[in-house]
A and B are shown apart, each in its own frame.
Chain A
């Protein structure tokens, strides 16, 4: 009878030991999991190997394809530079090859300047390629649609080229960051320059593309020049992708305006400028282009853009002011045989800033990277535009805005020398008050 008793005694001890072991193990495991942030979006699955994937959508066809192609080359350059751990990457603040030691992979999809196509492609990148960051676009309609997707899928979105106030305004998202100056910033930078150049009480005629970008620029520019007593002679609203602007230009020609503000962008800007010249509008009126497309002068010829005021995200002559701009412009020129326009600059600088932010956060986890970006006011980035930071409240980059004037063909020093930077307005001076943006950022998780 002793055997069974012994057996029971050993069994009890074993049960007790096992229970303690399991309990202890669970406690350690719980402690361990608590230190590791919860999985979110494509993290950590997207970076479980040696690589991290970036999903890029940009218009390679459609009215904004020229800007989109330039943007794509910017991504090609920056991702190669980051992966190689080259000298530019180190100057921007990155350490070693890749980001946190991971090689960046990417694919570029043609968004055709259509928001639905862009969203479809980015959804594929998120689901199939586990994209850890999505970026690209030239139109604000695309930008806003991708931002919404990013927020829903909890994947970080470094917005490409987008000028609408809504991108960091009523449609802002916790997961979206925009580096291009908003329409408000561009208008605030441009208004004093044109107010001084053309005087007070000017009647202006507007050509406005009928979507978020066009309306945003119109509202911001008219508000910007109001202190100078400028009035609206006519506002001709036309669909995006219009080919023949004759009826709108006829109204503008007959409006009695002294200034023609052409808000059309991309191929529409080229066509409308050519036609404005043919209708005699450019002889009667001074043209202003609040946001000049990347290759507008190249496509219309310098003569039509000579003396035209406007703003850019970036113009290559800023290489004379910023060392990092010079590195970027020269590297781009060497590789692609022309000086980069601002589509390429947005792609290059935003990707660098994202990579630096990931290394600052020490993880690809989107909430941690977002917090690093939001904390950049106290720790600004050294960039091709000097020291810049994202405003935490709306995720708009606080950065200088270049105001430019078109040069005459005879004054050009090289084939890309279309503009002179007449003012470089500090970002803080032109930021829209946060309360007026209508931005309510969503949740981190």
Chain B
């Protein structure tokens, strides 16, 4: 039986891990929840964000500047992907959307591999995030503490933009009846483009935040794509609050289980997901019959 301080430490770590998972899943759920597209290129776009910040950091040495340039780059990528490929698939069946986004993912990963090779790229924690912080019952990496705050602000901004402005409203109406929204004088296509691009930037931003922590390799998005799906299944497909709560729950499951036996932490995550699918198939915040 682990000690109480260790359990508390793992519970806190679950919060940090969960917030990162929530951020990673947010891009996936934004695109799914508003445009109805299950974006299988999500993992690749997450990876692209990490490489973007790596390249700019190499050139400038400034983490903040690299973040800004990286986000702008991801915005351009999002616009291009939507304009050139994805917009032709809004009216197509889900299996077509899955195939095309999966294909985009493969192209992005292999392009990065061709450019940078398979070796992991080294990116240090920014100077303001170096070292550890003493929290009484545990010592925790300063960068991860700061990341919790950054993610909280980012998720709040995303939620406000998508759900407390007219953008979200237009998108939802556009999915129901694109022609009617058009007749009302609203450019639905432009709004779709904006939402898709925001989703891509969110995926890339998560990659940028994660880059100093994990190994930056072309395949780094694979495991996150799977974990993001688990998170949004737990939280409810397409639900933004669901992704946040699902992420936190997933983080706590992994972390608390590992206090007892780390070998079972992932098993427990999938077990909870399976149980939830039986008891509440639409997830915690999902609506039955509607993505």
Could you say which of A68, A244, A246, A267 contacts B120, with CB atoms under 8 Å apart?
A267
* Cβ of A250 under 8 Å from chain B: yes
CB distance A68 to B118 under 8 Å? yes
* Cβ of A92 under 8 Å from chain B: no
* Cβ of B214 under 8 Å from chain A: yes
Number of residues on chain B facing chain A (CB within 8 A): 46
A299 to chain B, nearest CB (A): 4
Selecting from B28-36, B185-193, B239-247, B258-266, the interface stretch reads B258-266
CB distance A279 to B219 under 8 Å? no
* Cβ of A103 under 8 Å from chain B: no
Complex formed: what's the CA distance from A264 to B113 in Å?
23
Complex formed: what's the CA distance from A270 to B120 in Å?
8
Selecting from B12-20, B66-74, B276-284, the interface stretch reads B12-20
Interface of B is mostly: helix
Which of B125, B141, B214 is most buried by chain A, counting CB atoms within 10 A of its CB? Answer: B214
* Cβ of A280 under 8 Å from chain B: yes
A234 to chain B, nearest CB (A): 9
* Cβ of A429 under 8 Å from chain B: no
Mark contacts of B1-42 with chain A using CB atoms, 8 A cut-off: 1 yes-contact digit, 0 otherwise. Answer: 000011001100110110010000000000000000000000
Closest to A247 in B: B258
* Cβ of A127 under 8 Å from chain B: no
CB distance B122 to A61 under 8 Å? no
CB distance A65 to B263 under 8 Å? no
Q: With a CB–CB cut-off of 8 A, which chain A residues contact B220?
A: 243, 267
Q: With a CB–CB cut-off of 8 A, which chain B residues contact A241?
A: 222-223
CB distance A237 to B215 under 8 Å? no
* Cβ of B218 under 8 Å from chain A: yes
Closest to B217 in A: A267
Known: A243-B223, A274-B213, A299-B119. A251 touches B6 (CB 8 A): yes
Closest to A268 in B: B215
Q: With a CB–CB cut-off of 8 A, which chain A residues contact B144?
A: 246, 278
* Cβ of A254 under 8 Å from chain B: yes
Number of residues on chain A facing chain B (CB within 8 A): 38
* Cβ of A56 under 8 Å from chain B: no
B122 to chain A, nearest CB (A): 5
CB distance B10 to A250 under 8 Å? yes
Complex formed: what's the CA distance from A416 to B141 in Å?
30
Closest to A269 in B: B215
Mark contacts of B261-291 with chain A using CB atoms, 8 A cut-off: 1 yes-contact digit, 0 otherwise. Answer: 1110110000000000000000000000000
Q: With a CB–CB cut-off of 8 A, which chain A residues contact B20?
A: 244
Q: List 29 A-B contacts (CB under 8 A).
A: A60-B118, A61-B113, A61-B219, A62-B219, A63-B219, A65-B219, A68-B118, A243-B220, A244-B214, A247-B14, A247-B17, A247-B258, A247-B262, A250-B9, A251-B259, A254-B6, A267-B215, A267-B220, A271-B214, A274-B212, A274-B215, A275-B213, A279-B139, A279-B140, A279-B141, A280-B141, A299-B122, A301-B122, A301-B124
* Chain B residues with a Cβ under 8 A of chain A: 5-6, 9-10, 13-14, 16-17, 20, 113, 117-122, 124-125, 132, 138-141, 143-144, 210, 212-215, 217-220, 222-224, 254-255, 258-259, 261-263, 265-266
Q: Which 9 A-B pairs have the closest CB atoms?
A: A65-B118, A237-B263, A247-B258, A271-B215, A278-B141, A299-B120, A267-B215, A270-B215, A247-B255
* Chain A residues with a Cβ under 8 A of chain B: 60-63, 65-66, 68-69, 210, 236-239, 241-244, 246-248, 250-251, 253-254, 267-268, 270-271, 274-275, 278-280, 295, 298-301
